Amino acid sequence: MIPLNPRARLMVPDGAAIPEALRRTTHLGIGAHQDDLEFMAFHGILACYDRDDQWFGGVTVTDGRGSSRTGRFKDWTDDQIAAERIREQEAAAVIGRYAFMAQLGHPSQAVRDAHEKAVRDDLRHILEASRPEVVYLHNLADKHDTHVGCALRCLEAIRQLPKAERPRKAYGCEVWRDLDWLVDGEKTPMPVSARPELARALNEVFATQIDGGKRYDLAVLGRRTANATFSHAHSADQETAMQWAMDLTALIRDDELDPVAYVTGFIDRLKQDVISRLRKSL
């Protein structure tokens, strides 16, 4: 077993030994909450689905205790909702045929705290054991503070690895702020048109959120459709579903590169693009 905090839970859907399950992982998604992986990292799930040479591994960092709840879940306690969200996430791992599913059980506040070492240490241990080629993280311009904290803890953990053992690519993905605003040349396209039935099945697992008042199952699929249609103004649609990503690879290659400066660079280039287009017609 890899050393994780006592609250952590690690399962392997196909029953493989845990060391083997981690070693076979080629694509790793690390999300803050239960359901984030299915919404933001479907590109990786799809790339590995039903294959023996590529495997998607999942990590959920928080304990799921603070979610909104209405309907049949309105009177559930934090303990009850957390237990059900853990069950839902493991059900999604079975449907998506993940290499493994780790749920670390950290409070959201700890994920947002740059001085909290336990989160970073857990992530480093998983990265050391899995050595993925590609990692899917939250994008650093996300408007959910826990998502941003989660992405930063991931970058810190990766930077603690020897450079030869780091992932080849790191992508920041869409959840609480989409990435359509990126200048077109800086968007990383992630086509996800294949297996729409798998996308729906994964999204619909999370009844605590859907019945709890958030129709993420519809919103995520709608965003993907909109991305595909609005990706090119002057050509017919090439895909029926698309996710955008922010390429974070430079941040895991250069330890001196400041994440704040890196992200605001994207914003500055958007500003210049808007100014340029306006001035063309003034």
Is pLDDT above 90 for 30?
Answer: yes
Q: In which band, very low, low, confident or very high, does the pLDDT at 23 lie, cut at 50, 70 and 90?
A: very high
Is pLDDT above 80 for 71?
Answer: no
Q: How many domains does the chain have?
A: 1
Write down how long the chain is: 282
Instruction: Give the pLDDT confidence score for residue 92 in this predicted structure.
Output: 98
Is pLDDT above 80 for 70?
Answer: no
- 4 is a domain residue: no
Instruction: Give the pLDDT confidence score for residue 208 in this predicted structure.
Output: 87
Mean of the per-residue pLDDT values of the chain: 94
Q: What is the CATH number of the domain that holds 270?
A: 3.40.50.10320
Three-state secondary structure along the chain?
CCCCCCCCEEECCCCCCHHHHHHCCCEEEEECCCCHHHHHCHHHHHHHCCCCCCCEEEEEEECCCCCCCCHHHCCCCHHHHHHHHHHHHHHHHHHHCCCEEEEEEECHHHHHCCCCHHHHHHHHHHHHHHCCCEEEEECCCCCCHHHHHHHHHHHHHHHCCCHHHCCCEEEEECCCCCCCCCCHHHCEEEECCCCHHHHHHHHHCCHHHHCCCCCHHHHHHHHHHHHHHCCCCCCCCCCCCEEEEEECHHHHHCCCCCHHHHHHHHHHHHHHHHHHHHHHCC
Residues of the chain above pLDDT 90, percent: 85
Q: Position of tokens 């459709």?
A: 225
Could you read off the pLDDT of 83-141 as tens digits, one per residue?
A: 999 999 999 999 999 999 999 999 999 999 999 899 999 999 999 999 999 999 999 99
Instruction: Give the pLDDT confidence score for residue 40 in this predicted structure.
Output: 97
Instruction: Give the pLDDT confidence score for residue 172 in this predicted structure.
Output: 98
- 1 is a domain residue: no
- 124 is a domain residue: yes
Domain around 44: 9-280
Segment 210-228 shows an average pLDDT of 88
- 2 is a domain residue: no
Residue 66 near residue 106, CB atoms below 8 Å: no
- 239 is a domain residue: yes
* Residue 40 backbone dihedrals phi, psi, to 5 degrees: -100, -25
Segment 14-34 shows an average pLDDT of 97
- 26 is a domain residue: yes
Residues of the chain above pLDDT 70, percent: 99
Could you read off the pLDDT of 157-179 as tens digits, one per residue?
A: 999 999 999 999 999 999 999 99
Instruction: Give the pLDDT confidence score for residue 77 in this predicted structure.
Output: 85
